[in-house]
Amino acid sequence: MSTPPVTVAPPAPSASTSTTRSYVVVHETSYAYDQPVGLSRQIVHLSPRALEWQTCRSHELRIAPEPEILSVGDDAFGNPLMSFCIEDDHASLLVHAESWVDVTARVYPDDASTPPWDEVRARLAYRAGRAPDPADLEASRFLFESSRVRNKRELAAWTSACFPPGAPLMAGVRALMNRIHEELTFDPKATTVSTPVMEVFERRRGVCQDFAHLMLSCLRSIGLAARYVSGYLLTHPPPGRPRLVGADASHAWVSVYCPGYGWVDADPTNGLFPSLEHVTLGWGRDYDDVIPLRGVLLGGGDHELDIAVTVTPVDEYEKVFGEPFVPASSRA
């Protein structure tokens, strides 16, 4: 089996040359029900996570009808989480999230400076009588199958071409990311939110969520710890065309545990390492851990769902929305 070519990493930005960009992310979810809903309980993952390279300067969540807020805090993975309940009859539900986020360029390790991937696998493997490093132990919960990620021998065999014995971890991650980007076709009509990862692997088609689940399955199948990352990506309209309200979408990528460095993000949909144009909401074992809005309701019958996402630089906000940007914290 031939090994896919490993591209040479571009020079990593130094701290002195790093830049910061500010974005406004508007994520609007609306449901229209055929029949009245008598009770709705929902969990919301729509607040950007505070990170070394990301600062959420303001966040506002507007819900209609007005709910009872049940809790605000963090989930088991440290992601911001809010839950609410609506007990009055209602025929529609609107959840409008607006976040002002600063994102700073990240510094990634050189491929050659990262430990051999098979040594990382050995570190993460359980051995009786050996006390694991605390960071390794924390990472180990992302080694196993989850509801949407599978550890399969055929995936391990396919992935092994990108991870020859002794290869630096980052070199293997880069090769796998590029292989998925090059060999799979982005096709929104090929899958649904429930399409199994092995079907995506066989058909070689899907969307960002599918590519992330496939890369997670590949990495976990060879004994590496990797987690699903939920967020947004700044998109660029065609030359001469305006940025459109609601034309964007949620995005997904992966993060791989690299001892001595931490977690390394990789975006197989676009074949790049996230930096200035990715906004992180949170992470988990797979999509099910960080669904933006999920819950249960009584009644409703059939429904229509509409999701509109807009990611825009702060300095373009007025041109896109027709009014100056006013942070939520500054509104009366």
CA dist 210 and 269 (Å) reads: 9
**Cα separation, 111 vs 96, whole angstroms:** 41
Provide the whole-model pTM: 0.91
Residue 5, pLDDT score: 30
pLDDT over 70 (residue 33): yes
Distance between CA atoms of residues 216 and 222, nearest Å? 10
Which tens digits make up the pLDDT trace of 88-130? 999 999 999 999 999 999 999 999 999 999 999 999 998 888 8
Other C-beta atoms lying within 10 Å of the C-beta of residue 291: 15
- Is 315's pLDDT higher than 60? yes
In the predicted structure, residue 327 carries a pLDDT above the cut 90:
no
Q: Given this model, what pLDDT does residue 236 score? A: 86
**Could you report the per-residue pLDDT of 4-30, keeping only the tens digit for each?**
333 223 333 333 344 899 999 999 999
Domain ranges of the chain: 21-104+291-323, 106-287
204: left (phi over 0), alpha (psi -120 to 50) or beta: left
**32 CB-near residues (< 8 Å, 6+ apart):** 91, 92, 303, 304, 306
Of the pLDDT bands very low, low, confident and very high (cuts 50, 70, 90), residue 332 is low
**pLDDT tens track for 160-174:** 999 999 999 999 999
Tell me the C-alpha distance between 85 and 66, whole Å.
9
CA 30 to chain centre: 21
CATH architecture of 21-104+291-323: Sandwich (2.60)
CATH architecture under which domain 106-287 falls: Roll (3.10)
